[in-house]
Structure 1
Amino acid sequence: MAEDGETAEAEKPEEPQQEADPGQDAQEKAGDPENAHKWRKRSSEVDIALQALVGGTANLFFGPTSVGQLGDRGQRANHHLGVVVRSGPVPRQVLDRIRECYVEPPHYAMVKQKLMSAQVLLFQMRSGTGRTTTALRLLDQLCAAGVRKLDPDATLKTLQDKDLEENHGYLLESLEADQARELQAFQIERLGRLMDEKGARLIVIVDESTPLRFHDIGDLVISDLGQVPPERLLQRHLSGVAVLERPEVQEIIAELTDDIPRRELAQLAELLKEVAEERTDLNAVKERFSRAGEANFIEWFDRQTDIEQRAFVIALAVFNDEPVQIVSQAATLLADHIKAVEIPRRVDRARQLFTLPLQRRITDANAELVDDTVETIFGTVPVRKARFRDERYPYRVLQLICGQYDQAHEVVRGWLFGLGGIPGEQIRIRAGMAAGLLSLQDFPSIYETLIEPWAAIGDDNARWAAVAALTIPGQHPALSRVVCEVLKKWSRSHDPELRTTAAQALGSTSAMSTRACLRLLRQLARYADWGIAYAVGESVTDLLARVDDRGAVLGALVRWSRDDEHPKRRETALLAVLIASSYLVVSVDGGSEKWPALVWEAENDPERRQQIVRLYARMLLAAEFNRRGYLALRDWVKVAQKDTSMREPLARLLFDVGDESGELDSIRYYIEYWRDEHDGPADAARAMLRYFKQRGA
Structure 2
Amino acid sequence: MTDTDQPEPDEDTSTDPVPEPDPEPAPPESEPAQPESATEEKEAGAKEAGDKPEKDEEGGIRQAQEQAVDPENAREWAQFASQMDTAMKAMLGLGAGGFVGTGGTANFFLGDTSVGQVGDRYPGGHGRSVDMRVRSGVVAAEVLEQIEQSYVEPAGYRELKYLLEQRQLVFIQARSGTGRTMTALHLLAGVCAEGVHKLDPDVELKTLSAKTFKPAHGYLLESLDPAQAAEFRAFHAERLGQLMRDNGSMMVVIVDESVRLPLHEIGDLVVTDFGRVKPELLLRRHVEWGLSDAGDSAGPDVLSRPEVKEIVAQLTEEVPPRELAKLGELLVEVANERLSLDVVRERYSRASEAGIAEWFDAQQDCEQRAFVIALAVFNDEPVQLVSTAATLLADRFRELEIPDPADRTRDVFAVQLSWRVEQARAELVSEMEDTGFGRVRVRKARFRDDRFPRLVLEQVRAQYTEALDVVTDWLLALGGIDVPQVRIRAGVAAGMLAQYDFVSVYNRIILHWAYSGDKYERRAVVAALQVLGSLPGFDRVVAKLLREWVQRRKDPRLRATAARALGSTTSMSPATALSLLRTASREALRDTSWLATSNTMYCVGESVSDLFVRAEPGQVLRALERWSRDKEYPERRETALLALLMTSRYVEVTVDTSAEPWPVLLWLAEHDEEHRELIVVLFSRMLLTADFMQRGYREMSTWVRRARREPTIVAPLARLLREIGEHSGELDSIHFYLRKWAGDREGPAAASRAVLERFEEKEGQP
1:122 equivalent to 2:190? Answer no
Q: How does 1:69-84 map to 2 (within 5 A)?
A: 73=106, 84=133
Contact preservation (8 Å) 2:184, 2:220: yes
Are residues 100 and 462 of structure 1, via their aligned partners in 2, closer, same or farther at CA, if it must alter by over 3 Å? same
2:577 to 505, 517, 522: 517
| Counterpart secondary structure, 2:647 | helix
1:387 equivalent to 2:446? Answer yes
2:554 to 487, 494, 497: 494
| Counterpart position of 1:359 | 418
Q: How does 1:50-449 map to 2 (within 5 A)?
A: 50-55=88-93, 58=94, 73=106, 84-239=133-288, 242-290=301-349, 293-449=352-508
Q: Could you tell me how far apart the structure 2 residues matched to 1:67 and 1:491 are?
A: 24
Q: CA deviation at 1:379?
A: 2.9
- Bigger mean CA offset, 460-469 vs 683-692: 683-692
| Counterpart position of 2:21 | none
Q: CA deviation at 1:507?
A: 0.5
1:653 to 704, 720, 728: 720
Q: CA deviation at 1:639?
A: 0.8
| Counterpart position of 1:475 | 534
Contact preservation (8 Å) 2:171, 2:255: yes
Q: Could you tell me how far apart the structure 2 residues matched to 1:83 and 1:569 are?
A: 35
| Counterpart secondary structure, 1:441 | coil
Q: Could you tell me how far apart the structure 2 residues matched to 1:250 and 1:500 are?
A: 54
Q: CA deviation at 1:370?
A: 2.7
Contact preservation (8 Å) 2:564, 2:607: yes
Are residues 610 and 177 of structure 1, via their aligned partners in 2, closer, same or farther at CA, if it must alter by over 3 Å? same
2:749 to 655, 678, 682: 682
Contact preservation (8 Å) 1:457, 1:497: yes
- Bigger mean CA offset, 102-111 vs 188-197: 102-111
Q: CA deviation at 1:369?
A: 2.7
Are residues 44 and 68 of structure 1, via their aligned partners in 2, closer, same or farther at CA, if it must alter by over 3 Å? closer
| Counterpart position of 2:19 | none
Q: CA deviation at 1:586?
A: 2.0
1:460 to 509, 519, 523: 519
| Counterpart secondary structure, 2:439 | strand
Q: CA deviation at 1:292?
A: 5.5
| Counterpart secondary structure, 2:400 | helix
Contact preservation (8 Å) 1:321, 1:385: yes
Contact preservation (8 Å) 1:31, 1:632: no
What is the letter of the counterpart of residue 541 of structure 1?
Answer: S
Are residues 78 and 251 of structure 1, via their aligned partners in 2, closer, same or farther at CA, if it must alter by over 3 Å? closer
Q: Could you tell me how far apart the structure 1 residues matched to 2:97 and 2:87 are?
A: 18
Q: CA deviation at 1:20?
A: 8.4
- Bigger mean CA offset, 285-294 vs 585-594: 285-294
State percent identity of aligned pairs.
Answer: 51
Q: Map Cα deviations across residues 462-517 of structure 1 (whole Å, 9 max, x no partner).
A: 11101111111111231111110111111121111111100000001111000000
What is the letter of the counterpart of residue 633 of structure 2?
Answer: H
Q: CA deviation at 1:75?
A: 12
Q: CA deviation at 1:258?
A: 1.3
Are residues 672 and 573 of structure 1, via their aligned partners in 2, closer, same or farther at CA, if it must alter by over 3 Å? same
Q: Could you tell me how far apart the structure 1 residues matched to 2:98 and 2:419 are?
A: 40
| Counterpart secondary structure, 2:446 | strand
| Counterpart position of 1:35 | 73
Contact preservation (8 Å) 1:614, 1:660: yes
Task: Count how many residue pairs are aligned between Structure 1 and Structure 2.
Answer: 672
Are residues 19 and 465 of structure 1, via their aligned partners in 2, closer, same or farther at CA, if it must alter by over 3 Å? closer
Q: CA deviation at 1:104?
A: 1.3
| Structure 2: gaps (5+ residues) | 1-55, 110-117, 122-126, 292-299, 589-596
Are residues 246 and 556 of structure 1, via their aligned partners in 2, closer, same or farther at CA, if it must alter by over 3 Å? same
Q: Could you tell me how far apart the structure 2 residues matched to 1:523 and 1:257 are?
A: 51
Contact preservation (8 Å) 1:67, 1:83: no
| Counterpart secondary structure, 2:352 | helix
Q: CA deviation at 1:390?
A: 2.6
| Counterpart position of 2:605 | 537
Q: Could you tell me how far apart the structure 1 residues matched to 2:180 and 2:423 are?
A: 40
Contact preservation (8 Å) 2:472, 2:509: yes
Q: Map Cα deviations across residues 148-196 of structure 1 (whole Å, 9 max, x no partner).
A: 1111111111111111111101010001001100101111111011101
Contact preservation (8 Å) 1:70, 1:597: no
Contact preservation (8 Å) 2:189, 2:196: yes
Q: Could you tell me how far apart the structure 1 residues matched to 2:454 and 2:178 are?
A: 22
Contact preservation (8 Å) 1:70, 1:545: no
Q: Could you tell me how far apart the structure 2 residues matched to 1:370 and 1:541 are?
A: 35
Contact preservation (8 Å) 1:28, 1:628: no
1:47 to 49, 73, 85: 85
Q: Could you tell me how far apart the structure 2 residues matched to 1:218 and 1:231 are?
A: 33
Q: Could you tell me how far apart the structure 1 residues matched to 2:59 and 2:476 are?
A: 34
- Normalised by the length of structure 2, the TM-score is 0.84
Q: CA deviation at 1:246?
A: 3.5
| Counterpart secondary structure, 2:712 | helix
Q: Map Cα deviations across residues 255-288 of structure 1 (whole Å, 9 max, x no partner).
A: 2221211111111122222333343333332321
Q: Could you tell me how far apart the structure 1 residues matched to 2:542 and 2:697 are?
A: 39
| Counterpart position of 1:62 | none
| Counterpart secondary structure, 1:462 | helix
2:626 to 541, 559, 570: 559
- Bigger mean CA offset, 624-633 vs 24-33: 24-33
| Counterpart secondary structure, 2:302 | coil
- Bigger mean CA offset, 315-324 vs 36-45: 315-324
| Counterpart secondary structure, 2:602 | helix
Are residues 129 and 84 of structure 1, via their aligned partners in 2, closer, same or farther at CA, if it must alter by over 3 Å? closer
Of Structure 1 and Structure 2, which has the larger fraction of its residues in helix?
A: 1
- Normalised by the length of structure 1, the TM-score is 0.92
Q: CA deviation at 1:69?
A: 9.2
Q: Could you tell me how far apart the structure 2 residues matched to 1:373 and 1:661 are?
A: 49
Q: CA deviation at 1:427?
A: 0.8
Q: Could you tell me how far apart the structure 1 residues matched to 2:84 and 2:757 are?
A: 45
Contact preservation (8 Å) 2:85, 2:97: no
What is the letter of the counterpart of residue 562 of structure 1?
Answer: R
| Counterpart position of 2:669 | 602
Q: Could you tell me how far apart the structure 1 residues matched to 2:466 and 2:478 are?
A: 19
Contact preservation (8 Å) 1:69, 1:546: no
1:25 to 56, 63, 74: 63
What is the letter of the counterpart of residue 457 of structure 1?
Answer: S
Q: CA deviation at 1:361?
A: 2.4
| Counterpart secondary structure, 1:203 | strand
Q: Could you tell me how far apart the structure 2 residues matched to 1:70 and 1:652 are?
A: 29
What is the letter of the counterpart of residue 176 of structure 1?
Answer: D
| Structure 1: gaps (5+ residues) | 1-17, 60-64
Q: Map Cα deviations across residues 599-642 of structure 1 (whole Å, 9 max, x no partner).
A: 11111211111111111000000011101111111111111111
Contact preservation (8 Å) 2:426, 2:447: yes
| Counterpart secondary structure, 1:348 | coil
| Counterpart position of 1:572 | 639
1:638 equivalent to 2:705? Answer yes
Are residues 294 and 79 of structure 1, via their aligned partners in 2, closer, same or farther at CA, if it must alter by over 3 Å? closer
Q: CA deviation at 1:19?
A: 13
Q: Could you tell me how far apart the structure 1 residues matched to 2:311 and 2:448 are?
A: 21
What is the letter of the counterpart of residue 612 of structure 2?
Answer: L
Are residues 369 and 103 of structure 1, via their aligned partners in 2, closer, same or farther at CA, if it must alter by over 3 Å? closer
Q: CA deviation at 1:660?
A: 1.0
Are residues 161 and 68 of structure 1, via their aligned partners in 2, closer, same or farther at CA, if it must alter by over 3 Å? farther
Q: Map Cα deviations across residues 380-423 of structure 1 (whole Å, 9 max, x no partner).
A: 33332222233322222122212222221111110000000010
Q: CA deviation at 1:42?
A: 1.2
| Counterpart position of 1:5 | none
